[in-house]
Amino acid sequence: MVKTVLYAEKLYDNDSVEREVFGPDVRVVWRNVANLSQLEERDCAKVDGLMVMRHAVTAEHFARFPHLGCVVRMGVGYDKIDRTAAAARKVMVCNVPDYGTTEVADHALALALSLRRGIALHLEAQRRPQPAPWSYVRDPLLRRNGVQTFGIVGLGRIGTAAALRGL
């Protein structure tokens, strides 16, 4: 029996990855709506799985999908999904807890290094009408990284990833 998975946001034109992952027994449907209420009833009637990124999924939305078995939040957290309504309809709710962990940890370290090494100060000096000649920037915040302590508040997924990069 073929299952239908509906993506509420058209993220890209090529769906070859989804088709390869799901295999031949899953029909992938792409829609691009601002809100799940805008989906047509004929689409909702056939959906077994729902993939959402930015959309909220409320009790009213769950009622529109008579065969829904699973909602996947394509990101971190469940804050936009009414889990009580999902449980009442026996709909499994999933997310992608590691989504963005690498990128956020990398970015946090890049920002920390930028601040510590005065990159913004140098950039500001070069953006003036007459770029500043090279000079040593005298600022008490600029110190060698090897003599500094790198602190991380919280060692969840992102904090741990940043700590491992900062070793």
Could you tell me where the beta strands, DSSP code E, fall in the chain? 3-7, 26-30, 49-52, 70-73, 92-95
Predicted pLDDT of residue 151: 86
Is the pLDDT at 11 greater than 90? The verdict is no
Q: If you ran DSSP here, which 8-state letter would residue 73 be given? A: E
> Which is higher by pLDDT, 123 or 22?
22
What confidence tens digit (pLDDT) does each residue in 62-77 have?
Answer: 999 999 999 999 998 8
> Which is higher by pLDDT, 133 or 41?
41
What confidence tens digit (pLDDT) does each residue in 28-51 have?
Answer: 999 999 999 999 999 999 999 999
Measured CA to CA, the distance from residue 21 to residue 104 in angstroms comes to 26
Quote the mean pLDDT of the chain.
Answer: 90
Is the pLDDT at 79 greater than 80? The verdict is yes
Predicted pLDDT of residue 115: 84
Measured CA to CA, the distance from residue 81 to residue 164 in angstroms comes to 32
CATH 3.40.50.300 fits 3-95, yes or no: no
What confidence tens digit (pLDDT) does each residue in 134-147 have?
Answer: 777 677 777 777 77
Delimit the domains of the chain by residue range.
Answer: 3-95, 101-166
Q: How far is CA 42 from the centre of its chain?
A: 29
